[in-house]
Amino acid sequence: MTTTIYIPRDTTTLSLDGELVATNLAIAAARTNTDIKLIRNGSRGMFWLEPLLEVQTDQGRIAFGPVQPEDIDSLFAADFANPKFDSHSAQQHPLYLGLTEEIPYLKKQQRLSFARAGVIDPVDIDDYIKHDGFKGLAKSLQLSAQGIVDEIKDSGLRGRGGAAFPTGIKWQTVLNCPPQQKYIVCNADEGDSGTFADRLLMEADPLSLVEGMTIAALAVGATQGYIYLRSEYPQAHIILNQAIANAYANNFLGDNLCGSDRSFHLEVRLGAGAYICGEETSLLESLEGKRGLVRSKPPLPAIEGLFGQPTVVNNVLSFGAVPHILSDGAKVYADYGMGRSKGTLPFQIAGNVNRGGLVELAFGTSLQDLLDDFAQGTASTRPMHSIQVGGPLGAYLTPEQWQTPLDYESFAAIGAVLGHGGIVVFDDTVDLAEQASFSMEFCVEESCGKCTPCRIGSVRGGEGIEKIRNGENPEQNLELLDDLCETMIDMSMCAMGGMTPFPVQSAMKAYRAQLSDQQQSVKGH
Amino acid sequence: MDATSARANDKIQEIIAELIDKPGALLPILHEIQHVFGYIPAQAIPRIGDALKQTAAEIHGVISFYRHFHTSKGGSHRVEICRAEACQARGARALESHAKQALQVDYHQTTADRNISLDPVYCLGNCACGPNIRIDDDIIGRVSPEKFDRLVDGLNTVSLQIR
């Protein structure tokens, strides 16, 4: 009897010797005459357990992890590939984790966008359909364009790239433009440190992105789409291209979609290592084959976007949420979340933590609860000290701020951003002035150079922080730095220069508090 | 392919001809040329410009904007170290200085034996398993200084063919 075994082929698994695990498994299976079928799925998002090996049993999938190449022999010795759930020898294996779905890290989540992640073969059309794939598309083909846009509006979905702009309103703007060449562009330039949700979706369930973009095309009357993928994601590139080829072969892309009179063509385009191209107008410039310089708005990309035509630009996760909204209805989606932050957000627990990974939850949990329930302390075993939320342009938060509910408005109220949901934990060895300095350095490196506050401000800001760190007139230089930060916030063309001050000012504030604590304790002695 | 070989110019023209009809063809062309030659050879620039009806300066302007594109031949392998915050929180700063010391190069330089070019990278999207590095198209997680040395040893080992 054939036993089905799963080993992911996402970036994280491969980065931790996953390929060798799969090779060793195949060799051992041949040597022991064990009849297995190996499926290379995506990751479940429990990265501390990767490479996570799963065996299909009569009671569901059981997991072993983290499996290293040298563990394969002992797994075979324990008869791990036994399709009977109650195989005692397998349960005795030190890497045995029980039923995958029962692992608390996974069980405690509310997975909508990532429901299929790690469950299916990411590029297999039949497997996707078996798990509710293309239901949203089928529904959309029966609706009018306005009907689709209304569903998205009613769901309350807001752009998941970081800016949280209502997706339905964006689509409505493009729909309202007279019929002409229109484009659907997916922003897959996930450059924020501490974020990997886009990558995980593209590597684990790329067809949901294909489906979401196709629905968007039906909604606004577009016939061509591009996924602008960062070049730092070579594995996502391979998997996306396979998924798209399979979608074409099965008539889920191309002319006469699913037998209808509609067409949609989709292509992956690679970026080339420029963080700024995650900004939508810069991304459009890059897609057009130019330097990724930020454009002035207006005109909005929805009206004059790619090649001057009306264009929907959305993040991977925004498109990824679309099929579910269409298939299950806007209301089901809107029932998750709080206030104006509807639905779920995949939080990404990263940096110095024991259990890093993707946690999809409704908005509203506090940062502290998220860390308590999932992160399990730091990898270094030292105390957590500060947390940067929302990528390199997000503020550093110190413990008194960790009770803040994780939703867009609550974060804005404390001068922080939720952004793309990335959470980077630092332990108490962090030098926050050094982090502030790095934020300016990153802006120097990544600024497109078009506007002065960003291009020059970041250089001057970095110099100022160095002076403060070296004790050169710290009070005056801090005042200057604050002044410069205000100018960058108010005068920059986009978030690059306009938000770099967030991590800088928050880190410097915490640094000053740390400094004055130290001075007081020196005085006290 | 060697950019100085007789066939190099033909290959460049072939790549341009194949991709020129794509809307916004420049980045796809540059990617393919770099894929074939390992960098963008100087002779490619005016040829791309002619095909796209742009000046060589405009093409150069695009190439220089993007960190991923290189205009000179690097080492046999490209090693990128992630400098971003999530990796910093897990020891990337120590790894950076170790790597520079071990390879005796700074960023944007190539080792004396022309085997390894060292570059910074800002996030490889493996932020729960840092510090991360990329060697050519492979991303490798939890790279301690010792693991870095082992990986570099692997790159420096020349396989001998026994006849």
Q: How many residues does chain A have?
A: 525
CATH of the domain at A204: 3.40.50.11540
Q: Quick one: DSSP state of residue A383?
A: P
At A408 the pLDDT is: 86
Determine whether the interchain pair A307/B23 forms a contact, defined as Cβ–Cβ distance below 8 Å: yes
**A12: domain range?**
3-107
Q: Are residues A137 and A277 in the same domain?
A: yes
What CA–CA distance (Å, rounded) separates A193 from B125? 7
Would you say residue A118 lies in a domain? no
At A364 the pLDDT is: 84
At A506 the pLDDT is: 96
At A83 the pLDDT is: 83
A101's tokens:
């779905």
Determine whether the interchain pair B125/A196 forms a contact, defined as Cβ–Cβ distance below 8 Å: yes
CATH of the domain at A486: 1.20.1440.230
Q: Are residues A294 and A353 in the same domain?
A: no
Q: Are residues A167 and A305 in the same domain?
A: yes
Q: Which residues of A24-57 are buried (b: 16+ CB within 10 A; e: fewer)?
A: bbeebbeeeebebeebbbbbbbbbbbbbbbbbbb
Please tell me the distance in Å from B57's CA to the nearest CA on chain A. 12
Residue type at A184 in one-letter notation: I
Q: Are residues A159 and A270 in the same domain?
A: yes
Domains and CATH numbers, chain B: 8-65 (1.10.10), 77-156 (3.40.30.10)
Tell me which chain A residues have a C-beta less than 8 angstroms from the C-beta of B129: 12, 15-16, 47, 50, 356
CATH of the domain at A379: 3.10.20.600
Q: Is A225:A213 a contact under the CB 8 Å cutoff? A: yes
H or E segment to which residue A265 belongs: strand A265-270
What CA–CA distance (Å, rounded) separates A116 from A122? 9
Q: Are residues A315 and A349 in the same domain?
A: no
Instruction: Give the nearest partner residue to B141 out of A15, A353, A438, using CB atoms.
Output: A15
Assign B72 a pLDDT band (cuts: 50, 70, 90): very high
Tell me which chain B residues have a C-beta less than 8 angstroms from the C-beta of A198: 125
A111's tokens:
């997975």
Q: Give the chain B residue whose CA is nearest to the CA of A447.
A: B65
What CA–CA distance (Å, rounded) separates A232 from B124? 6
Q: Tell me if residue A112 falls in helix, strand or coil.
A: coil
- Report chain A (525 residues): mean pLDDT per 10 consecutive residues: 95 98 97 96 98 96 97 95 84 95 96 95 98 97 98 93 89 98 98 96 98 98 98 98 98 96 97 97 98 95 98 97 94 81 89 97 91 96 96 96 92 91 96 97 97 98 97 95 97 96 96 80 65
At A509 the pLDDT is: 94
Would you say residue A359 lies in a domain? yes
Q: Tell me if residue A305 falls in helix, strand or coil.
A: coil
What CA–CA distance (Å, rounded) separates B48 from B53? 8
CA atoms within 13 A of residue A64's CA, in its CB half-sphere:
29
Q: Which of B114, B103, B96, B108 is nearest to B152 (CA)?
A: B103
Q: Are residues A290 and A144 in the same domain?
A: yes
If you compute the radius of gyration of chain A from its CA atoms, what whole number of angstroms results?
24
Task: Give the ipTM of the model, two decimals please.
Answer: 0.96
State the CB neighbour count (10 A cutoff) for residue A375: 25
Q: Are residues A251 and A347 in the same domain?
A: no
Please tell me the distance in Å from B153's CA to the nearest CA on chain A. 17
CATH of the domain at A76: 3.40.30.10
Would you say residue A113 lies in a domain? no
Assign B94 a pLDDT band (cuts: 50, 70, 90): very high
Instruction: Give the nearest partner residue to A12 out of B65, B129, B137, using CB atoms.
Output: B129
Q: Is B67:B107 a contact under the CB 8 Å cutoff? A: no
Q: Are residues A241 and A323 in the same domain?
A: yes
Would you say residue A116 lies in a domain? no
Q: Which residue has the tokens 């502290």?
A: A368
At B6 the pLDDT is: 85
Assign B84 a pLDDT band (cuts: 50, 70, 90): very high
Bridge partners, residue A280, by sequence: none
Would you say residue A263 lies in a domain? yes
Would you say residue A451 lies in a domain? yes
Would you say residue A112 lies in a domain? no
Residue B52 burial (C-beta neighbours within 10 Å; 0-12, 13-18, 19+): middle
Which of A107, A134, A156 delimits the end of a domain? A107
| Domains held by chain A: number | 4
At B161 the pLDDT is: 58
Q: Is this prediction's pTM over 0.90?
A: yes
